[in-house]
Chains A and B, each alone.
Chain A
Amino acid sequence: KNEVEQSPQNLTAQEGEFITINCSYSVGISALHWLQQHPGGGIVSLFMLSSGKKKHGRLIATINIQEKHSSLHITASHPRDSAVYICAVSPAGTALIFGKGTTLSVSS
């Protein structure tokens, strides 16, 4: 069993829809990261969470430490949001453990 599980694996949406991507993990962590990988391969860090909720523009990330679960929400999705979204966790003192990613495609 993978230590970091993401769902869904693939997601197709119409422009304007509300998107939710889920991440569950099985190890103790000091932080959880949400990353965005563009079609060219470059990766950008979106959020780092250790508790609660963070918001940046149309993106919202939440984490429930007790349930070992995090969600990434995109409000009013746009075709430029099309990318692979990756959840990664930081077990204390060790390198990141990555999920396999969720491929999002938003059509106009």
Chain B
Amino acid sequence: DGGITQSPKYLFRKEGQNVTLSCEQNLNHDAMYWYRQDPGQGLRLIYYSQIVNDFQKGDIAEGYSVSREKKESFPLTVTSAQKNPTAFYLCASSPDRAGGQPQHFGDGTRLSIL
């Protein structure tokens, strides 16, 4: 079955470390997204990519970086510059670059600081 795979499900980071969250999709979707979810808040867009080798910053990109070398993969790196990284991170994809079609979501990665 097609879908989005995020790994790991739980991730722990020490202060000053960079960590990379994996997102892979086999839906042949052009667009991919990374969201951050904090308690009591709606999902906020970190980065999105509408095509391979291209990506744009979302609302809260500071302290994060991404790459899109392959259509099916969109990894997110949480850098040491992100001062409050503890959150739930969701990856999504869509066949429609304009956002007018349903997005498919992964099961998320919960990141915690040790």
Contact = CB atoms under 8 A, between A and B. Distances in A.
A41 B100 CA distance: 23
Contacts of B106: 42
B16 interface: no
Given A99-B42, A100-B41, A90 B99 contact: yes
Interface residues of A, number: 27
A43 B90 contact: yes
Contacts, number: 63
B103 interface: yes
Contact of A42 (B33, B102, B103, B107): B107
Nearest to B31: A95
A21 interface: no
Q: On chain B, which size bracket covers the interface?
A: 20 to 34
Contact of A4 (B42, B99, B102, B104): B42
B45 interface: yes
A95 B100 contact: no
A41 B42 contact: no
Nearest to B42: A98
B98 A40 contact: no
B43 A86 contact: yes
9 contacts: A41-B107, A86-B43, A88-B43, A91-B99, A95-B33, A95-B99, A96-B43, A98-B35, A98-B43
